[in-house]
Amino acid sequence: MNFLELIRQPWPWYIAGPLIGLTVPALLIIGNKPFGISSSLRHACAACVPANISFFKYDWKAESWNLIFVLGIALGGFIATQFLADPNAIVIASDTQQDLAALGITDFSGLMPADLFSVENIFNFKGLIFFVFGGFLVGFGTRYAGGCTSGHAIMGIANLQWPSLVATICFMIGGFVGTLVLLPWLMGLVG
């Protein structure tokens, strides 16, 4: 197996997980930088939209490494999807497929179900609920929790921060409630 074939295949959790986890000490050792993605939006807004808002009045240039980091994530995602995509179908457990089919979600051809996240759904009621309201909840939750899931679950817990453990537990509970309670209710509402 050559290198290109190796990186095209899905990696098992016991390889991918530690590699993600090693990002934390690498950032700390290289430049004493914390891992997190949500702060990059604040930096981008402070850089691109100079306004008289106290939240955006700070030295964003000192945090420009974070913008480069996020740009690298976007570029890596583009390269991976365009040139290194796994040719095999995404594997989803049959029980999960049956549960989602009962909700009207049947297209599993991409990384996200096209029944929910497609261009056609952007300007209809379903799009309003899933894109606009869902995006608002993610943004509000990130700001309210003082960081995103990656920042808290990967960086915060690695640094033994009690608020990050609490935030991560709340993220998980929210995910379970969203999947088991809100998704069926919303699909019934917009279906």
Judgement on whether residues 3 and 50 belong to the same structural domain of the protein:
yes
The angle at the Cα of 126, spanning 125 to 129, to the nearest 5 degrees, equals 85
Q: What is the pLDDT of residue 14?
A: 93
Question: What pLDDT score was predicted for residue 169?
Answer: 93
pLDDT at 95: 92
Measured at the CA of 116, the angle between CA 175 and CA 71, to 5 degrees, comes to: 75
CA distance 100 to 93: 11
The predicted structure's pLDDT at residue 191: 61
Q: How many domains does the chain have?
A: 2
**Is-contact 69 152, C-beta < 8 A?**
no
> Could you tell me if 77 and 105 lie in one domain?
no
Those residues of the chain that have pLDDT short of 50 are none
pTM, 2 dp: 0.69
**Would you state the pLDDT for residue 166?**
92
Domain boundary among 88, 108, 142: 88
What is residue 177's predicted lDDT score, i.e. its pLDDT?
A: 92
User: To which residue do tokens 């894109």 refer?
Assistant: 131
* Co-location of 102 and 67 in the same domain: no
Q: Check whether residue 139 and residue 156 sit in a common domain.
A: yes
User: Which domain covers residue 36, as residue numbers?
Assistant: 1-88
Which pLDDT belongs to residue 173? 94
